[in-house]
């Protein structure tokens, strides 16, 4: 990546998060991305940022902790973690998270039990901050940059600059960085997704049904379910783009209303590890059976974090026109892979998907069908072979996706 490209992408991200003059920014990434973060921070200060703080997501050190720490220490989380999270929200910081692992297979050998102890404690401490983010109380964006090892995992071959550059050339048009004005291109794309949201809202759906190979799943929706995607607004009314890229429209399902079976159509990254060929059976909203060709123990670990982790918190629709799907690649990165196919998520839901959800307390939110789990894990269930049908509250069936094509 050239210096001019770094500057261009940095400014696209700052526009996506709608950084304001005198606003502070925190950036979360692995150390491998610090060269880009230096550019991002400089451009933020040029826009008038008050302060830029970088949190190092040091995956290697986390693995060392899981492998070597005494077990009684694995549940420890220092108080400053929640303190700084509160400050981010109270002072209206903007947040940019940069994914793209230096070693995408680093967590593959983690002991599931020991990792589960650490993940459960982190999830519980981070829950108020997660809820603030899901309620759009701060402006945030998640994106990704290639690394040599991640590129090799996606494209094959040996890790190195050549394969990293090749992956970036694939990612650039997906991120609309090949457009003369990427920010305007994303705004136009947001209008397309907004039209889809409105079409779904006009149907006043009671449920959505997925049918395909190994899948016959019905997911119930709360009354007046709000469809989201393509952009959000913070409490002060400022627009921001939470995912870059994004191809989805999504809502909050009623966590008590899922029934049937579903088979994953793409590998999923859960608790840092890959799960392949997973199948789930639901009754009354709850996963009662699960299996996987690879990573079954990771699913068991996820579902043991709390009771609500076995219920759904998101339903998202993506058509086969997605440039990520059309690339024909599995990115082994949830941001990209979830925007290649329809997906669901286990665990916590987005308050904005329920009418008035951002004003409800946890008990009221749960009574309205919201999921209050401490975790949120996306899994992909869509493909051109999986048809998607909406069922209105009057009982009429309306095709939404057929052979991967948007029908509304």
Query: How big is the CA angle at 339 (ends 349 and 4), to the nearest 5 degrees?
Result: 115
Residues 273 and 63: their CA atoms lie apart, in Å, by: 12
- Location of each CATH 3.40.1830.10 domain in the chain: 3-174
State both tokens at 361: 């307390």
Residues 196 and 316: their CA atoms lie apart, in Å, by: 12
Residues 174 and 327: their CA atoms lie apart, in Å, by: 9
CATH no. of 3-174? 3.40.1830.10
Radius of gyration of the CA atoms of the chain, in A = 20
8 A C-beta contact, residue 342 and residue 318: yes
State both tokens at 101: 């692992």
Paired sense of beta strands 273-275 and 286-291, if any:
unpaired
8 A C-beta contact, residue 377 and residue 347: yes
8 A C-beta contact, residue 278 and residue 299: yes
The pTM for the full model equals: 0.92
State both tokens at 8: 């261009």
The reported pLDDT for the residue numbered 1 is 86
> What's the sign of the alpha-carbon dihedral 109, 113, 117, 119?
positive
Residues of the chain with pLDDT under 70: none
The reported pLDDT for the residue numbered 96 is 98
Q: What secondary structure, in 3-state letters, does the chain show?
A: CCHHHHHHHHHHHHHHCCCCCCCCEEEEECHHHHHHHHHHHHHHHHCCCCCEEEEECCHHHHHHHHHHCCHHHCCCCCHHHHHHHHHHHHCCCEEEEEECCCCCCHHHHCCHHHHHHHHHHHHHHHHHHHHHHHCCCCCEEEEECCCHHHHHHHHCCCCCHHHHHHHHHHHHHHCCCCCCCHHHHHHHHHHHHHHHHHHHHHHCEEEEEEEECCEEEEEECCCCCCCECCCEECCCCCEECCECCCCCEEECCCCCCEEEEEECCCCEEECCEEEECCEEEEECCEEEEEECCECHHHHHHHHCCCHHHHEEEEEEECCCCCHHHHCCCCCCCHHHHCCCCCEEEEECCCHHHCCCHHHCCHHHHHHCCCCCCCCEEEEECCCCCCEEEEEECCCCEEEEEECCEECC
């Amino acid at each position: 990546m050239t210096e001019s490209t770094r500057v261009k992408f940095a400014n696209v991200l700052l526009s996506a998060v709608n950084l304001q003059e005198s606003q502070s920014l925190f950036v979360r990434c692995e150390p491998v991305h610090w060269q880009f973060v230096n550019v991002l921070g400089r451009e933020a200060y040029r826009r008038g940022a008050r302060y830029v703080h970088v949190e190092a997501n040091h995956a290697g050190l986390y693995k060392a902790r899981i492998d070597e720490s005494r077990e009684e220490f694995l549940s420890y989380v220092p108080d400053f973690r929640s303190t700084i999270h509160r400050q981010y929200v109270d002072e209206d910081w903007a947040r940019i998270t940069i994914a793209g692992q230096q070693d995408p297979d680093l967590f593959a050998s983690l002991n599931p039990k020991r990792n589960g102890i650490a993940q459960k404690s982190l999830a519980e401490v981070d829950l108020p901050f997660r809820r603030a983010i899901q309620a759009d109380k701060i402006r945030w964006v998640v994106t990704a940059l290639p690394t040599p090892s991640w590129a090799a995992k996606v494209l094959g071959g040996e890790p190195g600059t050549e394969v990293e550059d090749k992956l970036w050339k694939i990612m650039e048009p997906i991120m609309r960085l090949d457009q003369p004005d990427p920010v305007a291109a994303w705004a136009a794309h947001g209008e397309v997704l907004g039209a889809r949201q409105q079409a779904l809202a006009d149907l006043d759906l009671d449920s959505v049904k997925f049918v395909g190979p190994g899948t016959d799943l019905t997911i119930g929706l709360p009354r007046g379910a709000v469809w989201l995607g393509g952009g959000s607004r913070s409490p002060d009314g400022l627009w921001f783009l939470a995912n870059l890229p994004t191809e989805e429209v999504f809502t909050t399902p009623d966590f008590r209303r899922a029934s049937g079976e579903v088979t994953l159509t793409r590998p999923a990254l859960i608790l840092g590890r890959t799960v392949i060929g997973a199948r789930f059976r639901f009754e009354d909203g709850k996963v009662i059976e699960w299996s996987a060709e690879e990573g079954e123990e990771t699913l068991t670990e996820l579902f043991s974090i709390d009771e609500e982790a076995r219920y759904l918190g998101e339903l998202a629709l993506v058509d086969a026109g997605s440039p990520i799907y059309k690339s024909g690649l599995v990115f082994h990165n949830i941001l990209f892979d979830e925007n290649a196919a329809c997906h669901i998520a286990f665990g916590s839901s987005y308050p904005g998907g329920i009418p008035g959800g951002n004003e409800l307390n946890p008990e009221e939110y749960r009574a309205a069908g919201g999921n209050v789990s401490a975790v949120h894990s996306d899994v992909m269930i869509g493909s051109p072979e999986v048809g998607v049908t909406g069922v209105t509250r009057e009982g009429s069936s309306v095709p939404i996706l057929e052979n991967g094509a948007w029908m509304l």
